[in-house]
Amino acid sequence: MGVTLLLITHDNVGKSMLTAANNMMGGSPIHCKNLLIHQQMDIEQGYLKAKQLYSELEEGDGVLVITDIYGSTPSNIATRLLEQHSREQITIVTGLNLPMLVRVMNYAHLNLHQLAQKAGSCAKDSIFVIDNSINCD
């Protein structure tokens, strides 16, 4: 068992990142499912699909749900899932990026709360602004 992962993102964002992370890691050490939300999808239809995927993933140690943009349709669908379950069963992290996903895979052995914290801190720590003002000498 262990924590499982549900990506809820716009279009193919989650699928593409999952493919890239799996290629980098040589496979995924965490049971993961991806839900893509396309522009024409009805929000209720998206929620019902998310609920189904959540049920398939819930193995007792919790589900980490990662979305791409806070406040967007994928994030709102994830929030509806959260409202139906306890904090011990589901945690949401927003702002999906590739370093975050790789970090989650590297720390798949952690509990739900710890894994969510790793994901969130990695997202912040992996963003840099690099310009000519940095002295490279």
**Which one has a higher pLDDT value, 81 or 88?**
81
| Confidence at residue 135, expressed as pLDDT on a 0 to 100 scale | 65
pLDDT in tens, 82-99: 999 877 799 999 999 999
**Which one has a higher pLDDT value, 113 or 1?**
113
Residue 30 in contact with residue 2, Cβ under 8 Å?
yes
Query: CA 41, CA 35: separation in Å to the nearest integer?
Result: 12
Q: Is residue 30 part of a domain?
A: yes
Q: Is residue 50 part of a domain?
A: yes
What is the average pLDDT score of the chain? 93
| Confidence at residue 85, expressed as pLDDT on a 0 to 100 scale | 85
| Confidence at residue 136, expressed as pLDDT on a 0 to 100 scale | 61
Q: Is residue 91 part of a domain?
A: yes
Instruction: Give percent above pLDDT 70 in the chain.
Output: 96
Q: Is residue 130 part of a domain?
A: no
Give the residue from 28, 1, 32, 13 showing the smallest Cα distance to 97: 13
Structural domain tally of the chain?
A: 1
pLDDT in tens, 114-136: 999 999 999 889 988 888 776 66
pLDDT in tens, 18-60: 999 999 999 999 999 999 999 889 999 999 999 999 999 999 8
Q: Is residue 135 part of a domain?
A: no
- The CATH number for 17's domain is 3.40.50.510
Q: Is residue 132 part of a domain?
A: no
| Confidence at residue 28, expressed as pLDDT on a 0 to 100 scale | 92
Q: Is residue 118 part of a domain?
A: yes
Query: CA 77, CA 73: separation in Å to the nearest integer?
Result: 6
Our measurement of the distance from residue 136's CA atom to the centroid of its chain's CA atoms, rounded to an integer in Å, reads: 35
Q: Is residue 136 part of a domain?
A: no
Q: Which residue range is the domain that position 87 belongs to?
A: 4-125
